[in-house]
Homo-oligomer: A and B are copies of this chain.
Amino acid sequence: MTQRRRPTIHEVARVAGVSISSVSRALNGNTSNADMVARVNAAVREVGYVPSVVAQSLKTRHTGQIAFAMEDIGNAAYLEMVRRIQPTLRDEGYRLLLHSTGADVEDELGVLASLSQNYVDGLILCPLRVTDRHVEALRQTAVPVVVIGLLPDDVPVDNVRADSRVGARLAVEHLAEAGARRIAFIDGPLDTVPGRARYDGFRSGLAAAGLPEDDDLVRFTDFQFDAGRRAARELLTGHPDVDAVLGANDLIAMGVLHALRDLGRDVPGDVRVVGMDDTPLAATSFPPLSSVSLGSADRGRIAAELLLRRLDGDDAPPERVTVPPSLNVRESSR
């Protein structure tokens, strides 16, 4: 392998016998002389020229990169988003930079501050919590940002929301309709945006169904399988009259299914179970898990599209898009 340096536009110009400006024009379609274009292309092939994106970026002031920052790519909801965001961006010639913040608020703010000032043309952000400092940072970003998740109304930033409040409510209403009277809820941390919204939705669902609230039937834990399993086991042991459980995400709901099986209760015969996020887990569990789809894939796609529009120069006022939730009923609640 040759250790030679990559050929530059100067090399191409020399071989083609033209000036570097002409090469640049020919390559960027800013020339009408077909002969010139042909000569340049021939020279490009001859020397194996590949433009330096870095130099281009320096000159043109955009990098062709977009960052997606979230807590943990391991989370199925974020994963669904990435799967849609990446192709959407790629089709428009953008590369995707991935940044997991690991639930570290400082890191998240650091991303906002430094990412946005550098090496990306735009940013899609999924903050788990939104503090005043987030809002402040969002007001000052140097590049367009789209936030996926709940954002105060006065923050001038494009915002794609899932209505997990309505989602939780849908689930509760569905369970009540199916005959459940003692509905338990296993939530994530109450101080997270989704944890809070889902709890509110749960309560409003109870109210809508005319069922009493009972704090004993609610647990706040983590959005994880083991946490859900433990909490469910404890709750169901203490309250054997529970006839339905809503898990704040599919992992928790899977934990609930396992706890029920450990306790010898039949699903959905004795207890109905519904999860949230409608991840691939839901369809493959046993019994297949009813789950509230919050449209993660759609949110990802929409966020990417919004961002692309901004990058295209659209300076309309910030948009708020809410993706409506939908309930996917499977056997676990039928």
Contacts and interface: CB of A to CB of B under 8 A. Distances in A.
Interface of A: 1, 6, 50, 52-55, 57-58, 63, 65, 72-74, 79, 82-83, 86-87, 90, 95-100, 102, 114, 117-119, 139-140, 142, 225, 251, 254-255, 257-258, 261, 280-281, 283-286
A63 B74 contact: no
Contacts of A97: 65, 95-98
Contacts of A281: 281, 284
21 contacts: A1-B140, A6-B142, A50-B114, A50-B117, A52-B58, A52-B118, A54-B54, A54-B57, A54-B63, A54-B119, A55-B58, A58-B58, A73-B79, A73-B82, A73-B86, A83-B100, A86-B98, A87-B102, A96-B97, A96-B98, A255-B284
Contacts of A280: 225
A333 B83 CA distance: 33
A285 B255 CA distance: 10
A286 B286 contact: yes
A146 B3 CA distance: 20
Given A139-B1, A284-B251, A284-B281, A119 B72 contact: no
Contacts of A254: 284
A158 to B, nearest CB: 15
A87 B100 contact: yes
A82 B54 contact: no
Given A50-B118, A52-B118, 11 more contacts: A1-B139, A54-B119, A55-B58, A58-B58, A73-B86, A74-B83, A95-B119, A225-B280, A257-B286, A281-B284, A286-B286
Contact of A74 (B54, B79, B114): B79
B87 A83 contact: no
